[in-house]
């Protein structure tokens, strides 16, 4: 049998590797990070002492189990940490490991590339002291640090309350939580959220805990701008302001889809994620034979779903290879995934996308932090008659910088759609390019 590669050692990739190994297939497991685990279950460096309970709270058991699985796999599969897959072409992956380039031919691949925060920029967002919600969580979980002395948490989504709670619990001063979603939206979402009562209970617990500890939580409050010259000094919303030296903000998550794009997967507009996503069937098969998709990289569903999808995709790969699996297992997994998907609809109602963001964004707002392209510059290109996102990128370099539109691409599409009077799904999809991330000069290439 030819090589099976899994890209990403988070909940989806680890579970996929375990499942393949249990059926006699030894995969190559490639991960960009040093210690694996993904982002939500990211592991602290080996010499840190905090317990899993301190790091992962209610999820400590799941995190510990996942890490133990990865530790076992590390000796049994071809595990390659600190390795970036930066290109995919003709059945071959190009990778970079500690400055060394290598390639690998694969017969089948499971793409489990995860997600990053979904960012809707506000004036001042490039100042030192402003981070994504995920970043704020990583600073604490991975490094034992707060992003500042007095921290404000803004935006929306489940991560907002979770990270604010984790900060306050760890002894940081949380000056305010601004949730752009109104309370009424969360009430409307209750019926769908009740489908996953444990998850709902955790969310309510974080909120209640913050209020009980005197931390101001403002609902229906939209961050309008961040003050500061050399670093953050305060935030503004709805004629209110508060002094702080750090801000964490995001509106939920976005999928990392570049690799699926380079692998040739067909994409379709996904209204729930408000994003273009690689198409997949209920098992995780993409439009390309031998390419499977699992976890948040194929649509945001969270860590529990990622584990199930990782297992389901691995089972699909095994089925397609002619290896016998438990015939009852796929249906069980697919039912569980469907249930989480219903919950996800509830979350989208509870934390709705702020549809007025694009109309209200000021012209001088820096949209693309790499190339320093303003909202006004993007609007000017649209006013010249351009409305397709790749075309607009070619004209003003929005999304063309080092991050390849990871931070600004979705926001740029919103600005283009609003200005051109088109629906967001009708302004095109920012294409992925190799190298997926910047490569250093002087890479040693194997002959």
Partner 1 sequence: MALFKRLAETERPTLTFTLDGQPATGLLGDTLLTAVLTCAEHLRGSDFSAERRAGFCLMGACQDCWVRLEDGRRVRACSTLLEDGQAIRRDPGRQA
**Dist CA 416 CA 406 (whole Å):** 16
373 neighbors 381 (Cβ within 8 angstroms): no
- Is 149 a residue that touches partner 1 (CB under 8 A)? yes
In the structure encoding, which two tokens stand for residue 342, read together?
């219903």
DSSP letters, 44-113, are: PPTT----HHHHHGGGHHHHHHHHHHHHHHHHHTEEE-SEEEEEEETTEEEEEETTEEEEEE-SEEEE--
- Is 407 a residue that touches partner 1 (CB under 8 A)? yes
For partner 1, give the closer residue by CB, 440 or 447.
440
Least Å from the CB of residue 61 to partner 1 = 21
**Dist CA 255 CA 278 (whole Å):** 10
Least Å from the CB of residue 213 to partner 1 = 16
Per CB under 8 A, contacts with partner 1 among 251-290 are 256
- Is 83 a residue that touches partner 1 (CB under 8 A)? no
Q: If binding means CB under 8 A, how many residues of this protein chain bind partner 1?
A: 55
- Is 116 a residue that touches partner 1 (CB under 8 A)? yes
- Is 81 a residue that touches partner 1 (CB under 8 A)? no
For partner 1, give the closer residue by CB, 3 or 33.
33
With CA atoms as reference, report the closest residue to 62 among 391, 408, 303.
303
- Is 157 a residue that touches partner 1 (CB under 8 A)? no
- Is 307 a residue that touches partner 1 (CB under 8 A)? no
Least Å from the CB of residue 263 to partner 1 = 19
Least Å from the CB of residue 39 to partner 1 = 6
281 neighbors 97 (Cβ within 8 angstroms): no
**Dist CA 247 CA 177 (whole Å):** 10
- Is 222 a residue that touches partner 1 (CB under 8 A)? no
- Is 59 a residue that touches partner 1 (CB under 8 A)? no
- Is 235 a residue that touches partner 1 (CB under 8 A)? no
Binding test (CB under 8 A) with partner 1, winner from 36, 37, 124, 134: 134
**Dist CA 312 CA 318 (whole Å):** 10
In the structure encoding, which two tokens stand for residue 57, read together?
């709270």
76 neighbors 26 (Cβ within 8 angstroms): yes
Burial class (CB in 10 A: 0-12, 13-18, 19+), 209: middle
- Is 123 a residue that touches partner 1 (CB under 8 A)? no
For partner 1, give the closer residue by CB, 129 or 157.
129
Taking residue 222's Cβ as centre, other Cβ atoms within 10 Å add up to: 20
Piece of the chain touching partner 1 by CB under 8 A; list 136-144, 219-227, 286-294, 300-308: 136-144
- Is 230 a residue that touches partner 1 (CB under 8 A)? yes
- Is 402 a residue that touches partner 1 (CB under 8 A)? yes
- Is 43 a residue that touches partner 1 (CB under 8 A)? no
In the structure encoding, which two tokens stand for residue 74, read together?
């590390």
Cross-strand bridge partners of residue 293: 111
For partner 1, give the closer residue by CB, 101 or 170.
170
Q: What is the DSSP letter of 298?
A: G
Rg for the chain, CA atoms, rounded: 22
- Is 131 a residue that touches partner 1 (CB under 8 A)? yes
Least Å from the CB of residue 63 to partner 1 = 17
**Dist CA 260 CA 84 (whole Å):** 14
- Is 32 a residue that touches partner 1 (CB under 8 A)? yes
- Is 146 a residue that touches partner 1 (CB under 8 A)? yes
Binding test (CB under 8 A) with partner 1, winner from 1, 2, 50, 182: 50
Least Å from the CB of residue 296 to partner 1 = 12
In the structure encoding, which two tokens stand for residue 95, read together?
């990778």
- Is 53 a residue that touches partner 1 (CB under 8 A)? no
424 contact partners, CB below 8 Å, separation of at least 6 = 274, 413, 414, 417
Q: Give me the residues that bind partner 1 (CB under 8 A), please.
A: 32-34, 39, 44-50, 54, 99, 116-117, 126-132, 134-135, 138-140, 142-149, 170-172, 230-231, 245-246, 256, 369-372, 401-403, 406-407, 437-438, 440
């Amino acid at each position: 049998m030819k090589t099976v590669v899994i890209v990403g050692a988070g909940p989806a990739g680890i579970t996929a590797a375990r499942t393949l190994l249990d059926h006699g297939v030894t995969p190559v497991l490639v991960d960009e990070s040093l210690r694996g685990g993904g982002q939500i279950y990211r592991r602290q460096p080996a010499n840190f002492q905090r317990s899993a309970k301190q790091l992962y709270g209610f999820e400590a058991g799941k995190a510990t189990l996942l890490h133990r699985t990865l530790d076992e796999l590390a000796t049994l599969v071809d595990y390659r940490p600190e390795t970036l897959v930066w290109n995919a072409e003709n059945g071959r992956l190009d990778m970079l490991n500690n400055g060394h380039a290598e390639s690998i031919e694969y017969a089948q691949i499971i793409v489990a590339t995860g997600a990053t925060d979904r960012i809707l920029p506000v004036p001042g967002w490039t100042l030192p002291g402003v981070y994504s919600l995920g970043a704020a969580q990583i600073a604490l979980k991975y490094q034992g640090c707060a992003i500042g002395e007095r921290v404000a948490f803004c935006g929306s989504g489940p991560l907002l309350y979770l990270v604010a709670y984790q900060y306050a619990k760890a002894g940081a001063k949380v000056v305010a939580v601004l949730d752009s979603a109104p309370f009424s939206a969360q009430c409307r979402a209750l019926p769908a959220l009740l489908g996953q009562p444990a998850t709902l209970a955790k969310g309510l617990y974080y909120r209640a805990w913050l209020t009980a500890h005197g931390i101001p939580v403002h609902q229906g409050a939209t961050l309008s701008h961040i003050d500061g010259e050399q670093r953050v000094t305060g935030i503004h919303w709805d004629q209110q302001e508060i002094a702080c030296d750090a801000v964490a903000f995001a509106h939920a998550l976005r999928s990392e889809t570049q690799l699926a794009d380079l692998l040739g997967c067909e994409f379709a507009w996904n209204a729930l994620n408000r994003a273009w996503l690689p198409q997949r069937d209920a098992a995780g098969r993409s439009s390309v034979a031998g390419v499977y998709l699992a976890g948040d990289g194929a649509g945001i569903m969270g860590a529990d779903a990622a584990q199930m999808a990782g297992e389901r995709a691995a089972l699909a790969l095994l089925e397609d290879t002619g290896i016998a699996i438990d015939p009852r297992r796929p249906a069980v997994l697919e039912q569980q995934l469907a249930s989480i998907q219903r919950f996800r609809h509830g979350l989208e109602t509870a934390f709705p996308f702020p549809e007025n963001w694009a109309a209200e964004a000021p012209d001088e707002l820096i949209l693309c932090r790499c190339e320093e392209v303003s909202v006004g510059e993007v609007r000017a290109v649209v006013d010249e008659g351009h409305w397709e996102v790749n075309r607009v990128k070619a004209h003003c370099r929005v999304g063309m910088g080092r991050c390849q539109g990871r931070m600004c691409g979705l926001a740029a599409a919103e600005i283009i759609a609003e200005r051109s009077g088109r629906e967001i799904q009708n302004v095109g999809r920012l294409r992925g390019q190799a190298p997926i991330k910047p490569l250093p000069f002087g890479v040693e290439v194997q002959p």
